[in-house]
Structure 1
Amino acid sequence: MTTIPDGEGRPTGSGGSGSGSAPPRRAELARMIDHTLLRPEATGEEILALCTEATELGVAAVCVAPTHVYLAAAATRRGGLDGTRDQSDDPAFAVASVIGFPHGTHLTVVKAEEARRAVADGADEIDLVIDPACAMEENWRSIETEIASIRLSVPSHVILKVIIESALLPDASITAACRAAEAAGAEFVKTSTGFHPAGGASLRAVRAMAAAVGGRLGIKASGGIRTAEQALAFIEAG
């Protein structure tokens, strides 16, 4: 595993680190990570442990199922799990939740209601799974319409990330999916659920996504990233 130096520094955001530039420090890299627990059998106790780890590690967000949003939001906003943080402090991390997860085949009206309820329970970010069959059939109008519906169903300050399940798609379809997400008002495009048998994030997909959105949207690589070396490679890819 690549060693990440300690120390504070300015976060690099969603773009790549750039050829020849220094890799992010440990704290910077942490602020680019969504600490995630989406196993369907995850217990409340495990979610609380995830939130404790998130605070200790200084990550950007935790990502949990809609049923666990309220618990995660309470952990970050109400003085911390052990009461050591003042309630007036900024939240220790953002709360993200997944919509239409993991298959993306929910009706749009169901996804919209799921998103609304997640935000009402405290979600700051929504990760929407598109219908992969629509992408396979190149039905970009349907995908754009659905993303726009979800964008309109939650307040404008809520970050919308669109999961395109990139392992299923050739580069041309990845480009088209990213353009649909951008046109519909999403802030991020995301590679994968991490649950599809086709696989998770790939450098190929991230490069195609970066070329498509040109820095206008953030890119979230998800699924199968296990080491610092892998993480840095994805950051360099975009």
Structure 2
Amino acid sequence: MIGGASVHPLPRSADNTAKPPAPHAGGLSRNPGMPLDLGWLEAMRHINRSALERRVDTLGKRRSIKKEHQAAWLLRALAVMDLTTLSSDDTPDRVLRLCAKARNPLRPDLMAGLGIEDEEITPAAVCVYHPFVSIAAEALAGTGIHVAAVSTAFPHGLAPLPTRIAEIRASVEDGADEIDVVIPRGLVLGAHWEELYDEIAQFRAACGQAHLKVILGTGDLATLRNVTLASMVAMMAGADFIKTSTGKESVNATLPVGLAMVRCIRAYHEHTGIHIGFKPAGGISTAKASLDWLVLMNEELGRRWLEPDLFRFGASSLLTDIERQLEHHLTGRYSAAHRHAMA
């Protein structure tokens, strides 16, 4: 309790007019996809980059979120996080420690100080490489925290197609209920839309009941036009989420790219009635940056897209800074990062 006002998570959307997404066994919405519509792609080709950049430039200037309101928004950022470890030196012990952090993401004294000790606030998922899926699934059993596996020869996506499909199936068998796939960026750069559509459709089929997130690798796609067209093809092919980056590109999630992608999501929803999720990933490491993304989603798509079934952060160090900001909210002092260890 701070200043006589307790901090609570943001309320659920009161918008009852939108068509609710159909859930699958894991409680997340599914996109049935649609036939590839090249005419619609042609109509989406014209991108005004300067207008997108001007719009993005207004986000942080027009909205100032302070005090208890900021704390509530930061708790929302935590709740839509895919807590991630994708390092070449990952080990079973590191994954187990990350899962323990996911189960208890905030120190008890912070929870008590914020007046939310009775709330269940956890990240939406833990994201790992395939060899660690079964370890994470066992560690998170019964918590409601999803297990996401990066797949299809992450991060480059250049293995033979049967190998990539087999990897998806293996991760699903091991307990992953979300699959983050990567596309071969050359298919976008060469405008091979039919081949890209067919590959993603096969990924969708291989996922079964698992949720499909399609990583575009936007830093490799060169133009916002390519980002837009790849987003549309992925959704037509059955992507439940579109995701910016692997986190391994030289340029990862940026707000102009995110704005282009969420406007594709809006166009797809207006055309089909289907809700598609969005996941920015890579380089989002500060609480302030997370607020910019939440404002973008709220203003462009509405409150419904601030729920974990439609929005995620792919992040590894973001949680540390959120904890530090929440402690500052309580004490007026910033604590050292080592007091909020990730694993």
After TM superposition, the score normalised by the length of structure 1 is: 0.84
- The 1-side partners of 2:230 and 2:90 are apart by 31
Listed one character per residue, the Cα deviations across residues 95-116 of structure 1 (whole Å, up to 9, x for unaligned) are 0000120111122211111001
AA aligned to 1:69 is: V
CA-based RMSD of the aligned residues comes to 2.0
Larger Rg: 2
**Alignment correspondent of 1:71:** 135
AA aligned to 2:207 is: V
Aligned pair partner of 1:136 in 189, 192, 202: 189
**Alignment correspondent of 1:148:** 201
- 1:175: how far off? 1.0
After TM superposition, the score normalised by the length of structure 2 is: 0.59
> Aligned to 2:140, what secondary structure does the other structure show?
helix
Tell me if structure 2 keeps the 8 A contact 1:69–1:95.
yes
- The 2-side partners of 1:76 and 1:92 are apart by 8
Assess, with a 3 A threshold, how the Cα gap between structure 1 residues 11 and 194 changes in structure 2: closer, same or farther.
Answer: farther
Aligned pair partner of 1:219 in 278, 282, 291: 278
- 1:171: how far off? 1.2
> Aligned to 1:8, what secondary structure does the other structure show?
coil
- The 1-side partners of 2:224 and 2:132 are apart by 34
- The 2-side partners of 1:143 and 1:56 are apart by 40
- 1:6: how far off? 4.3
Bigger mean CA deviation after superposition, 32-41 or 228-237: 228-237
**Alignment correspondent of 2:159:** 106
**Alignment correspondent of 1:36:** 84
- 1:236: how far off? 2.2
- The 1-side partners of 2:233 and 2:83 are apart by 27
**Alignment correspondent of 1:84:** none
Report whether the alignment pairs 1:158 with 2:217: no
**Alignment correspondent of 2:287:** 228
> Which structure is richer in relative contact order (CA contacts within 8 A, separation 6 or more)?
2
- 1:234: how far off? 1.7
- The 1-side partners of 2:164 and 2:146 are apart by 21
Q: Percent identity?
A: 33
Listed one character per residue, the Cα deviations across residues 38-70 of structure 1 (whole Å, up to 9, x for unaligned) are 102111111011101111121000000000000
- 1:143: how far off? 1.1
Assess, with a 3 A threshold, how the Cα gap between structure 1 residues 10 and 124 changes in structure 2: closer, same or farther.
Answer: farther
- The 1-side partners of 2:144 and 2:92 are apart by 19
Aligned pair partner of 2:146 in 82, 87, 94: 94
- 1:11: how far off? 5.7
AA aligned to 2:283 is: G
More helix by share: 2
> Aligned to 1:195, what secondary structure does the other structure show?
coil
**Alignment correspondent of 1:83:** none
